[in-house]
Structure formats: C-alpha cells, structure tokens
Structure 1
C-alpha cells in the first residue's frame, strides 16, 4: 500500500488559515448551541423556580398584627383593650457580665418568679428558654435596664380588662392565642377583629423596603371601638348588692338584670360567682358561662303578672273579677295549696297578685281553654330560644300541646310559674311587655361601632318589637303589681317617693330524679317608675338558706333601683313624700347620734 506523503495534507486543506477559520466556526457554533440550550433551560425548564426565587428577593410579604377593637360601656369606660406585652426568652450561653445565679437573683423580683426556679430554667438548655409571657411595658423596661446579654424580649399583644370581674359575664375573655372564648369576645369575634389583608411590598437593590409601592391607606388606622349599652357604674352596684345578700343567705349563685323596656337594651347584667378575665385560667370553667342566659329555671310567682295579662287580653276575666280562695284546690288527683297554706276568701285579681295566691291563679287560668293558654305561652317565647347578641342562649322548656291540653295539672301548675322552664333573661323580656305598652323587644348589649369622632359607623339590626298585649292590659297589670310593693310581699323594695310595681317569687327546684327538691330559687322583678314605666329590674338568687323572694331578692332589687335612680336622675313620683321621708330619716339619724 502506498503511504500518504507530506504532499497529501495540503490537498485537503491547502491553507493553515483555513484550518483556524474552521476551528473558530466550530467553536462559535458549539458556543451558540450551548447558549441556546442554557437559555432554554433558564427560560423554560427552570423558569417558574427562578421567578419564585426572584420574587422572594425583590418582594416582602407582611401580615402585620392588628389589635382587636376595644370594648367600652355606654359612657366610653374601657372594658377591654389590647396593650403591648412581651415574652421573655433567655440564652444562657451568651451570658457575659454576670453568672446565672446573679442574673436569676436580679430578675426574680422583677418578674415574680423565684430565683431557684429561674436558675433551673437557665440550666435546662443553652439557648431559647421561654421564661414568661404577658410581660407589661413597665416590667419590660426594668428588664431592659439590667443590660444583660442573653435576655430577649419579643413583643406581642395581650388583652386587658380594666373592669376585671365587673363586666366579665358580658365581655368574656380571649385565650393565649388571642381568640375569644366567652361572652362578646367569642360571639362578636368577627366585629372585634380588624380586617387587614396580607401586604406585598417591593425591595430596593440594597434590600430596603420601598414605601412608594405600599397600598394607599396602609397607614390609616381603624379607630373604631365597640360600644355597649351597659353602664359599668350600675353593673358594679348590682354586683355588690347581689354579693352581700348571697353571702348573708349562703346562696349558691345569683343574677341581676336591668333592662330599658323601650328597646330591650341592657344597662346591667351580672352573675355571681364570676371570674377575672385577666386571669381566667385560675378559675373553674363553669364560671365562664353567663347562667342568666344559659341556664333554665322555673320562675314561680314572678310569672303570675304575665299570666294575669294573658287572661285579661283573652277577655276570660276582667280587672274586677273575683275568685274564692280557700287555701287549697284539687286538680285531678293533685292538691295545690297557697305558699302559707291559708286561704284569703273572696279576692279580686289585684289581691291575688298582691298576696301571691296560688289557688286564685289556678282558678283564673282555668277560665282559658288549655289550648289557648298553651298558644299564649308559645307566643311569649316560652319553649324557644331567646334572640339576643349574647352567646350560648338556652332554649326554654314547655310541655307539648298534647300533654298540656290533656293533663289538667299542667295548666294549673303553669298558673303559678311551675311546670315550664325559662332563663332569667326570658323573664325580664316578658315583664318588659308590661312596662312598654305590650311589646316583646329584643334584649341586647351592643350599641354599635363608633369612631374617635363619636360617629356611629355600624349598628346591629334588631327584630322589630312584637305586640302581644294591648297598652291597656299592660298598664292595668303594672298597676296591680304596685300593690305588691305597697302592701304585699314586695314591701322590702319600697323607695320613698317612687311608684314601683313588683312581684316576688319563691319556687321549688325540679329534682333530677323527678318531682321537686327542698331547694328553692328566690326572685323579685320590678318596674319603675310606674307613672311612666321604663325600666325592669330583676334579681334571681339560687338556693339561699332559709330565705324567700321577699327577704333575699327584693332588697337586692331595691339597692339596684336606688343606684339606677341616681345614675339616670329619675325624678320622684311624689316629691312631697320624698321630702318627708328625708326629714324623718334625718331626725332618726339625729336621735341616733344623741344616743
């Protein structure tokens, strides 16, 4: 085979320059191909990932903490408000100037944790030890003043209840996660939480946030607060009056409610025992509910004026109708007696209310057909839930129409307020019909949202009042109730110079095993002033020892009404009587001083 000689190469590539040109073109071609592939990889293959990565570098996402709206009473006294608070962390590995023991001794009196306990925590981990939550600004300032490396304060917010237990039954509380768990804090969480969407802001090349890209109105704070109908002064007075009588009679629990009968707004609603929402975790969970709204009881004789109104409105009786009270009456195989056992002879309707005659009430309600009576009770809301802005409302209990109409004992016991169950708030609402001309109104505690200029920006929509009694019937029964306070079982609620209508109640408690136990619920409900009825005040005291509605509940209502008169500046019905009474009291006081 003939070997290729040196003359063969020039025959393929004649010029070395051509070789270099070909090499360059090959390199350029391969480079361009590589660039195209890299561009495809960046634009198509890794495009979505790189876009997200770029946004992370160029944008900042914020969801700033926005304090809950404050809650105030009708006079703008603060009942609940968010305040800055801090969580204290310790990082012992960077303690510098002092030992763990020295820092523990210095920190203990400031935060209220024993030094030995602090030292145990310091020794539990080298860093990130959570020492205490909910530290207020003044305490945080003292911790900062220590100037110790390794102590870290993380800012957050806590909820403060300046009135403490005074309004706990209404306001409720928030938990450690700032979520409402009781009262309005729970039921009106969507109103109390200010809405603020997630914010996305752009960063400059050096990482600084560019404010010119912030949404318009970002810095305009929502200054609205939730205003209630409650008057904290009256709330405090009602609680004190209730606590005194509960302690005197060793009662299990009690409640006081004050309602403006015109529109159903509540000026006071207290329940005892209660809790301090600032330290809710120290109390039994059963205290978190407002039993005036959540628990049922048989109202007893305080329901008698409502029954009288039913009979009058049905025209089955007249205001001057007379009944024979022998002290006992037999219904089917049951004998119903008056509370004291004695009869009152021939008595009219006013006298029946005044002396709280069970026998007279049974005869009165027997003038109605049981079906009509049952229909009236349902119309008044017995057997249904109560519309209100307060949470956890109980559904009242009423026997079925068939049971009520076929068993004569059912309408007979209902005549004196037993055999069915309602809440104390139900009773106040129904009694308010006698004070406002016969209308059922909606009990409520929220007035609305107001801004810093005292302008109403939102108010709740309430159902319109529902007429159930005529104004004549309502006025007639309210005036009958005046005899209870003047000459009957409610004399303990008398206030010189003021016309007051009222009704006492001492009802047996139903036993879980059936029938009734020896325990009792005492109550008193009042309307004032009778010449121009407006307010309903009720007190219900559960299981007092050796007490009655007259001795336990009526004095509580009197004390609350006296505070209400001072706060609302209610003029006396008879100023001359008031002046005479004041003079007599001054004279008695003078004689006492002389003695």
Structure 2
C-alpha cells in the first residue's frame, strides 16, 4: 500500500474543508434556477405575450385571411355565384436541401417553368417565396403537391377563395365579377354589395416553417352576406336566349330586355346582348363589362309619348273631349315639328295621337301644359334621376329644364316625343310601370333577401310615390291597348287571348352634328294583362336593319310575351273573367 505524503495530506484536508461550501453554493444556485423557471408559469399576461411574440417573430408572419365571400342565389335558391377553394404554394428556401429536385417536381405538378422555380428557390433571401405567381391552383393539384415526399418539408400551401359562376354567362351583367386575390367586386351586384359580401377577415399567425399549423388571433372571421335575388334563373335563361335571337334576326348591333313584376317592381329578368362570361372576364371585350340596362343612356323616342300624354291628362290639359288639328307641321320656338311620316292627320283626339304616334300631337299637349307642369311631371316620373337600383354603375340620364343655361323653349317640344333628353332602360321601364301600377311608382328591386348566418332580412317592395292618379293611369292604359289593336299601329305585338297595353318607339341616334342617317334604336314597352297587369316588359334593339320599332321590337315583344304567359302561368282574358266571376285567382306569377 502506497503511503500518503505530507503534501498530499494537506491537499485532501483543504478539499474536505471547502467541499461543504461548494455543495451549498450549488444547492443555492439550483434553487435560484428552479425559482426562475417556476416564475415563468405565473408571468403576467402582458409579459408572457411579449415573450411569446419574441419567440414567434423569427419563425412566423401575420397574414390577413379573407372571410368566405357571401353567396348569390336566384329567387328559388339556385346558386348564381359561389366560392371554390384553391391553393397558393410557396417554398421555404432554408429547408430545401436539393433545389433542383424540388424545382423539377413542382414544375411537373404545377405546369410551371422549372428554371424559374429553381431561380426563385436559390436566389431568395427571405424565409418564404411564392411559386404560384400566375394564380392559385385547384384542390386536386394541391393534393398532388402535398402527397409528394420530395416537397412535403419545404413547401407550404395557402388556401384562398376563388369566385365561381356556375351558370356561366347567365345574368353576368347583373352579377358582375370579382378581381384580385381579395375577390373585390368590380361591377354589378358584386361591386354594389362588395363590403357586405366580403364579410370580416381575420389575422392569422402563419409559421414560416411549414411543420406548424396556423394560429388564429385577435378577430373572429365572419362569412359574407348572402343575397337572394328577385331574378328567376330559368326565366333569365329564356330572356337571354330570346334576346340573342332577336338581335341576330334583326341584324342589330345589340339589345336589352327587362321583365318587371308590375305590382312590386321586382326584376324577374334583365339581359343585354352581347354579354360575357364572368369566369373568364379577363378575355372579354372591355365594352361588355357593364350593365347596359342601367348604364347605357339613349333618346327613347316615341315610347316616351305615353309619359307626355299621362302628364297632360293628369294636369287637366287633356280630357276625353280634347282634340287638335294636325296640319303636318308645327312651327314654334324657332323650330318646325313634323310627324315621323311627314303626313298631316287633321282633327285628332288623344287616343289617336298615341295610336298614330304623332309628334305634333304630343308637342301640342306640351305647349298647352307649359314648361312648369310638363317638367314637374317628368321629375315625378323619375326622368333625369337615378332609380337607385342596387347595382353599381347606374347612370341618371339627362333632362334639361327651364332655368338651365342650355335649355330653350324648343326643348319642351322635342322632349315631348322623347328627343333632346336621355334615359336608361331601367328608368324608362320604371316610369312606364307607374302607369301599369295604377299611378304608383315602385322602386326597382333586384334583391329580395339579405342573409347573414341565421339572420334573414326580407327586402319588401317599396312605393316611391304616386306619379299620376288611378283614373289617369287607366285612361293611358286604355289608349295603349288601342295602340296594339290598331292594324296600322303596333299590332305585331298582339298576343291572342290577352289584352296588351303597349307603345312602340323608333328613336334617332344623336351624333356630333345632329343625328345619324339610317340608324335607330327600336323599342317596345308594354304590360299585360292590360286590365290587371302582372308583368311590364321593355325591349330595345340598337341599330336594327328593320329600323322601325313596329317592325322589329313589336314582333319580338309578341314572341316573348307568348313565352311569359306560359312560364308565369297567366290565364288568358276569358279564363280570368270566368275565374273572377267564380271568386278565384285571376292570374299567377311565380
């Protein structure tokens, strides 16, 4: 056994004396460490949040995630606009060990350029780079990315909503479309109700390391408002199909049809041709990306005469005994007014003015009324003012009035037969519908329900004002029936078994020096059954080869009206009279 030297013994004594002190120091340090660790369990929420945010800052980013956009349905619940889930894909370059392989696999699946992907991966200094810069991909394609073992670690998918219109071109000019990644409404209902349809977005803390799931913070996401329209999908299809046919048959440049429920102002169908596909609006002619029924203004021509006659009767200027002498020309206010056929008609009454569409007749009425009464009546009819239908882009038209610098006395005469002023189709049908609706003007209505979650808001029909009295409305209605019955008038609009109240129009098209030669806007406006109107219809054809409204728009109205009475199950006059005598319902509108 080796003996211990005196020096070694001294060192052992020193260690033995210091050991308790070292142990005590270690115990104290351990205790302090445990206390420090334990204190993190009871940090104040503010301090705890700060530590968490510092920790997340290096591995996460905050992104605004939009809510699902509200859906749009027709009156029967058929979808007109809904959303599809698609995906954007990006790569975290710091997690890529083989850039060439990742680029090759992504290029094959996403049908993108392999070199471009490789360049993005190898040159990006940030934590994440977007690969699908040309737009999101479908869920099927996204699943292929997720199932690829080479891509599972460095690739991150982000869900986005894409607006989809399942009916294609149907009602596209009413619906509009959305643009950009936020699905912002660009026209139509999509634009008018954009904020409500968009809902409320949320912020999400999204990990830049794909292994971690997103974590919602701060806000509750709220789905956008759903809209239920007054539009009937099947009727809209019928109207669009027929309109395309009328435009083609008449070699017209374009056309518009509006079908309105007479008693409520509800739009059952509204179409213009040509149109576009909102799913592919980017390739459409920019001129088509509007709603012509509410944006396009035009001089209405002779269909406007029904408003002048109504105003003259309401003011007391014209009654059943009123007549004038039509000499074929009227010189007043430094102009000469002639009838469209340049003929004279002798002594005529108010009904004959409408039946023969006499410019001199309505100009005489306007002169006898005077500008104050005439323009007061036109304002009541809403001419020159927005109807405030809930579709974006509505135009107000033009109505010059006394006191304005560009108004002259000649305007009173030309305005009486629909020249020198402008209207939109929705303005014109809303005004004419007041005659159909016993003198009450209805707010044109395109949305009948707004829905947010379980909250359903019904949008009831709105009476804007009384424009004319009931007796005046009935008098003008009876005159319009005679217009359609007269063999020299608009009899091509007649529908066997039904009394139709209507009026044709053939409007000149203004240009920089006056009016275009040989072109017109042909139109017809009417409602039926005349004694108890259910629908009011406006048809407008731009620059038809047949020129005259009586030869183009009137037969188009007849064809469409024959379809409408079948689809809407409106009994003919004989059946209605028998039902009325028995106390039954006399008409039906779906």
TM-score, normalisation: structure 2: 0.78
After superposition, the C-alpha distances for 1:423-445 in whole angstroms (9 at most, x for unaligned) are 11110001011111101111120
Deviation at 1:253, TM superposition (A): 2.2
Contact 2:204–2:214, Cα closer than 8 Å, also in 1? no
Cα distance change, pair 222–131 in 1 and its aligned pair in 2 (3 A): closer
Which shows bigger deviation, 279-288 or 177-186? 279-288
- Does 2:72 match 1:77? no
1:108-161 alpha-carbon deviations (Å, 9 max, x no partner): xxx7x6xxx7456456545653375343335555x4598473496543221110
Instruction: Report the counterpart of residue 467 of structure 2 in structure 1.
Output: 468
- Whether 1:480 aligns to 2:484 is no
Taking structure 1 as reference, are residues 500 and 99 closer, same or farther at Cα in structure 2, changes over 3 Å only?
A: same
Classify 1:451/1:237 alpha carbon distance in 2 versus 1 (closer, same or farther; 3 Å).
Answer: same
**Structure 1 residue aligned with 2:125:** none
- Aligned pairs (5 A) from 1:319-330: 319-330=320-331
Distance 2:203 2:103 in 1: 44
SS at match of 1:301: helix
Tell me if structure 1 keeps the 8 A contact 2:69–2:223.
no
1:232–1:94: structure 2 CA closer, same or farther, 3 Å change rule? Answer: farther
1-structure distance, mates of 2:466, 2:114: 69
1:184 counterpart residue number: 189
Matches within 5 A, 1:177-576: 177=181, 178-195=183-200, 225-402=226-403, 407-450=408-451, 457-460=456-459, 464-487=463-486, 488-511=488-511, 513-518=512-517, 519-574=519-574
Contact (CA 8 Å) 2:74, 2:80: kept in 1 or not? Answer: yes
2:436·2:477 contact (CA, 8 Å) conserved in 1?
yes
- Taking structure 1 as reference, are residues 370 and 569 closer, same or farther at Cα in structure 2, changes over 3 Å only? same
Counterpart for residue 584 of structure 1: none
Matched, 1:169 2:161: no
**Contact between 2:390 and 2:445, CA under 8 Å: does it hold in 1?**
yes
**Alignment partners' CA distance in 2, 1:144 and 1:254:** 48
Identify the residue that residue 592 of structure 1 maps to in structure 2: none
Query: How far apart, in 2, do the equivalents of 1:246 and 1:120 lie?
Result: 50
Gaps of 5+ in 1: 1-19, 202-206, 578-595
| Aligned residue number for residue 131 of structure 2 | 129
Whether the 8 Å CA contact 2:236–2:268 is kept in 1: the answer is yes
Q: Is the Cα contact below 8 Å between 1:254 and 1:540 reproduced in 2? A: yes
Q: Please give the secondary structure, in 1, of the residue aligned with 2:539.
A: strand
User: What are the superposed Cα offsets for residues 19-65 of structure 1, whole Å, 9 maximum, x if unpaired?
Assistant: x9xx99xx9xxx9xx99xx9xxx9xxxx9887522356599988654
CA distance in 2, matches of 1:523, 1:555: 11
8 Å CA contact 1:84, 1:155 repeated in 2: yes
Distance 1:125 1:192, change over 3 A: closer
**In structure 2, do the counterparts of structure 1 residues 97 and 118 end up closer, same or farther at CA, with 3 Å as the change threshold?**
closer
1:139–1:567 CA distance, 2 compared to 1 (3 A)? farther
Q: How does 1:22-171 map to 2 (within 5 A)?
A: 51-55=49-53, 65-87=66-88, 94=98, 100=104, 118=113, 121=116, 125-126=120-121, 129-130=131-132, 132-138=134-140, 140=142, 143=144, 147=148, 149-150=150-151, 154-171=158-175
SS, match of residue 563 in structure 2: helix
Question: What's the offset of the Cα at 1:340?
Answer: 1.5
**Aligned-residue offset at 1:232:** 1.5
Q: After TM superposition, give the deviation of residue 507 of structure 1 in Å.
A: 0.8
Q: Is the 8 A contact 1:374 1:404 kept in 2?
A: no
CA-CA distance at 1:537 after TM superposition = 0.3
Which residue in 1 is equivalent to 2:9?
A: none
**Quick one: distance in 1 between partners of 2:555 and 2:224?**
42
CA deviations 1:557-581 (Å, max 9, x no partner) are 233323322221111113599xxxx
* Shift in Å, 1:468: 1.3
TM-score, normalised via structure 1 length: 0.77
Q: Is the 8 A contact 1:97 1:148 kept in 2?
A: no
Q: CA deviation at 1:320?
A: 4.1
Compute the displacement of 1:516 (Å): 2.0
- In the alignment, is the contact (CA less than 8 A) between 1:383 and 1:398 conserved in 2? yes
Q: Distance in 2 between matches of 1:279 and 1:50?
A: 50
Residue 418 of structure 1 aligns to a residue whose secondary structure is coil
Q: Secondary structure at the match of 2:456?
A: strand
Secondary structure class of the residue paired with 1:164: coil
Following the alignment from structure 1 to structure 2, what is the Cα–Cα distance between the partners of residues 136 and 468? 54
